Structure 1
Amino acid sequence: MSTRTHAWLPAASCGPGCIAAGAAAAGRRPVVMLRVALRATLTILLLPTLPLLAVPLPGRSHLQRRYCRVVLRCLGIRITVSGGPVRNLPGVLVVSGHVSWVDIFAIGAVMPGAFVAKAEMVGWPGLGTLARMMKVIPIDRDDLRRLPEVVRAVADRLRAGRTVVAFPEGTTWCGLAYGPFRPAMFQAAIDAGRPVQPLRLSYHHRDGSRSTVASYIGDDSLLTSIRRLVTARRTVVHVRVESLQLPGEDRRDLAARCEAAVRGTPSPNAAWAAPACGDGHALVA
């Protein structure tokens, strides 16, 4: 994973200590090898079906949700969905905290749409192809002067009735700690006059404890992240659908309301304190 090159870029200070804090034993070596072989085989068999996501078939949204669920299952991840109903409204901005590239499949299994993602992801093998097919809106974190262009592109998609997914933290965190929601992307919802749907994502081990297995942080490479995921025992991602937020006129207020919903705080101004993860960051409740 690339590291921060400018002081004004969003960056998480999560590191190996965070991974250790949310780790769990993978099991006996023969079992781990069998697990990895099975998951790798299923994932490879799934790759030839990628073009189906680009075909404008009736019910494509349903197909995307099913496909993302199958991808998660192949990687050893189960998904649970709770909270409010998923409203099939046109032109909704979906926001959540950001832990990993896996978030794309977790959210796609619930509310598929075009993702705002870092430009380098489009060049990744496999995932890059999927990103292009799902019409990812790339954002270059090394040239944030182009951020207004991205905001306009998101607003145009929303006006056209498309669902757009963004990660307002601007970077990934370990899943135990989190960063503040930055207000820039919320301007697109205000400009388009469209609502925002906050989703609360969290990764867990089978026993319900928090997991950092899926995280993509620090000096992680994509291969390292995938290896950690397919080696682990079953991971569960919880997706909670929070209350839909009307855009209003103040992007900072909208960002604060959505962050409060995603964090589970009672109000945007509520005090928040929690234990620390492996690198000394506040834990997510």
Structure 2
Amino acid sequence: MTVIEHAWLPRTLCDSSCVRAGGAPPSRRLVAAVRSTYRIAAALMLLMVVPLLAVPLPGRGRVQRLYCRIFLRCLGVRITVSGGPIRNLRGVLVVSGHVSWVDTFVIGSVLPGAFVARADLIDWPAVGLAARIMKVIPIDRASLRRLPQVVATVAERLRNGQTVVAFPEGTTWCGLAYGQFRPAMFQAAVDSGRPVQPLRLTYHHRDGRPSTVTAFVGDDSLWQSLSRTVRTRVTVVDVEVASLELPGTDRRELAGRCEVAVRGQIAPRFQHSHALAG
């Protein structure tokens, strides 16, 4: 199926060179193969119990956070949390930069909620089931006409006290470079009068070097991204919790405030800092 390219459609400048720039040092092939086989088997077994997360039991949020952390450990991904306290408020729009499908499990381990995600995510093997359980709000990036309906759905869920997670860049970047926060999703916070919780996700290797191993960019397939992740010895993701942002009345101003909270600075937004990889 041909997708019509609109001028408003977010585009990433990242490609396979970004993944190589932040890749892990070479490891022994046999060790990496055994490691990846074990991890994929463990992750698949854990995905078999995903339907249990839909059971409306007390403390389900805590169970979802624990499930996401265990699933990430199966992939070799570790989580650290820094910054401000995590406030268990109802009806909060959570925003962060977007690097990979792994982001959904990372945020789910800290602030579980419904995700605004690409519509075809529902059709992905295994991950699609988890997406349906997490009540993903699908968005078709090629259809501008459907965007107001998605924003209205997000606003309604926020009014009903649900946590909703969105990625305002509109597409994935490698993590060494990043895109601008688009204001559309912030309209939902303005319309519902609910606050926004910015999160800064930083992927790095165990020795502290920036990592693009989990990135899902360019012509990457889900399998390629998954393979890089499970073959790497350890990937550490730091989740920095920024201060809550009140919605105000201007979605563009709100998007700008949240982008500063997530990035720390606005420029350089589109430059690939490959030198950081060492």
Q: Work out whether the TM-score is over 0.5.
A: yes
Note closer, same or farther for the CA distance 1:174–1:236 as it changes in structure 2 (3 Å cut): same
**Which residue of 1 is the match for residue 273 of structure 2?**
277
Identity percentage of aligned residues:
64
Note closer, same or farther for the CA distance 1:232–1:123 as it changes in structure 2 (3 Å cut): same
Match of 1:237, SS state, is: strand
**Which residue of 2 is the match for residue 43 of structure 1?**
43
**Which residue of 1 is the match for residue 138 of structure 2?**
138
**Which residue of 1 is the match for residue 160 of structure 2?**
160
Unpaired runs of 5+ in structure 2? none
Q: Which amino acid aligns with 2:106?
A: A
**Which residue of 2 is the match for residue 108 of structure 1?**
108
**1:1-285 alignment, distance < 5 Å:** 5-265=5-265, 272=268, 276-278=272-274
Note closer, same or farther for the CA distance 1:125–1:275 as it changes in structure 2 (3 Å cut): closer
Say whether the 8 Å CA contact 1:26–1:32 is kept in structure 2: no
TM-score, normalised to structure 2, is 0.95
Note closer, same or farther for the CA distance 1:170–1:20 as it changes in structure 2 (3 Å cut): same
Match of 1:85, SS state, is: coil
Say whether the 8 Å CA contact 1:54–1:133 is kept in structure 2: yes
- What is the total number of aligned residue pairs between the two structures? 275
Q: Deviations over 1:23-57 (max 9, x none)?
A: 12241112112211210121122122111111111
What is the Cα-based RMSD across aligned positions, in Å?
1.8
Match of 2:82, SS state, is: strand
Note closer, same or farther for the CA distance 1:274–1:192 as it changes in structure 2 (3 Å cut): closer
Say whether the 8 Å CA contact 1:100–1:214 is kept in structure 2: yes
Task: Give the Å deviation of 1:182.
Answer: 0.3
- 2 CA distance for matches of 1:202 and 1:88? 22
- 2 CA distance for matches of 1:147 and 1:88? 28
Say whether the 8 Å CA contact 1:190–1:247 is kept in structure 2: yes
Unpaired runs of 5+ in structure 1? none
Say whether the 8 Å CA contact 1:3–1:219 is kept in structure 2: no
Q: Deviations over 1:68-123 (max 9, x none)?
A: 00110000000000110010111000000000000000000000000000101011
Stretch deviating more after TM superposition (46-55 or 109-118): 46-55
- 2 CA distance for matches of 1:271 and 1:228? 29
- 2 CA distance for matches of 1:132 and 1:271? 36
- 1 CA distance for matches of 2:36 and 2:131? 24
Note closer, same or farther for the CA distance 1:3–1:24 as it changes in structure 2 (3 Å cut): farther
Q: Which amino acid aligns with 1:276?
A: H
Say whether the 8 Å CA contact 1:18–1:277 is kept in structure 2: no
Note closer, same or farther for the CA distance 1:4–1:98 as it changes in structure 2 (3 Å cut): farther
Match of 1:141, SS state, is: coil
Match of 2:86, SS state, is: coil
Match of 2:48, SS state, is: helix
TM-score, normalised to structure 1, is 0.92
Say whether the 8 Å CA contact 2:179–2:270 is kept in structure 1: no
